[in-house]
Chain A
Amino acid sequence: MKSLPASLLTIAAAIPAVVAATVPAATQSAVEVGDEVNFTFRSAPVNAMGIKGLDELRGKPVLVEFWGTR
């Protein structure tokens, strides 16, 4: 995977906001530390064994990594 310069970590905790599942990610504003996130995938991720939403993973940490195949 490509390694590009990292953006600075936003430390300030923002006003909590729930990211609506129905709004496409591209039109959402970026999440900030402290925001509550919720999302239901249209298609279950590969290897998700039926898990379709972030809410189903509550109770454990979830690492979401954005990567590329090129």
Chain B
Amino acid sequence: MKKAREFGDDLAIIFVESQGATQERMERFVWDRGWMGTTAMWTREAPFRTGSNGIPNFALIGADGRILMKGHPMSMQSKVVKAIEAEIKKGKGAPDDAPRSLKSAYKALAKGDYAKAHAAARRVVARAGDDAAAAEAFIESVDARFDKTLKRVEYLLSNGYALRATALHDELRAGAKGNDDLEARAAALTGSMNSDLVSDEMKLDRAFSKLEVKLHEKGLDEKLLKRVRKMAEKNEASRVMRRARRILDLAG
């Protein structure tokens, strides 16, 4: 958890519950430990096996999607931290095996500038040199990432995270500026983002998020839960209140 707080969004942390707990038990455990409110994620689905039978054990995946190290987290702590720092740096540039001609495209993508990344790769394609195929593959990956991020905007919107959805959509629109196709794809969502419904959801999200922060600090405190219950009853139809109802269900 210390790493989640220290590295923030630069590092993704996935905790995999490996003792067969139910979803409710796992979530309640996380709340009770005060671990909500960080960027860490929790799941009961193991994405792979590390080969270790003891817990905790870990694997660190690099920015390129390959396993960098695995083992016991406590015995390798300083090595893990160094590797994370190096990968964060690497993730903000181009992969080691990327052609030199695509370095600026990768850098632009790491900054969320999809249009600039596209344009830089297109220039490489236009030169029809040795790197043209790599540049075309890069453009495909940029498009795929853009579309997946758009889907996340939709997910956030329909699951009661209107503020996050709006912020992410704004980032996408800014990153698409200068590329007609990307701009059009981002604009397809603009209508629903600017609706009265989303505006109301944002107000409620703002209010509920403040309460949520207190819950993260104090855990599922009865006084706070009373306020959550009241807010949920008053705004029953709201998407934001789906989050509230999950908390109330866990509290029992």
Contacts and interface: CB of A to CB of B under 8 A. Distances in A.
Given A51-B41, A57-B12, A68-B18, A7 B51 contact: yes
Nearest to A42: B45
A47 to B, nearest CB: 5
B47 interface: yes
Interface in A1-23: 1-10, 16, 19
Which residue, of B9, B48, B74, B83, has the highest number of chain A Cβ atoms within 10 A? B48
A58 B65 contact: yes
B229 to A, nearest CB: 21
A9 B80 CA distance: 12
B129 interface: no
Nearest to B35: A47
A55 B148 CA distance: 10
A59 B54 CA distance: 29
A1 B43 contact: no
B64 A66 contact: no
A11 to B, nearest CB: 9
Contacts of B65: 36-38, 54-55, 58
B192 interface: no
Given A7-B52, A61-B11, A66 B18 contact: yes
Interface string A28-48: 111111111111011101111
B60 A9 contact: no
Contacts of A9: 69-71, 76
Given A49-B156, A60-B87, A68-B19, A41 B66 contact: no
A60 B63 contact: yes
Interface stretch (B25-33, B96-104, B170-178, B234-242): B25-33
Given A7-B50, A7-B52, A45-B43, 4 more contacts: A25-B48, A43-B43, A50-B156, A51-B41
9 contacts: A31-B51, A33-B69, A41-B45, A46-B42, A48-B43, A61-B87, A63-B80, A67-B15, A69-B17
Interface of A: 1-10, 16, 19, 25-26, 28-39, 41-43, 45-51, 54-70
What 10 pairs between A and B have smallest CB-CB spacing? A6-B72, A30-B51, A4-B54, A50-B155, A39-B47, A68-B19, A61-B87, A25-B46, A45-B43, A45-B41
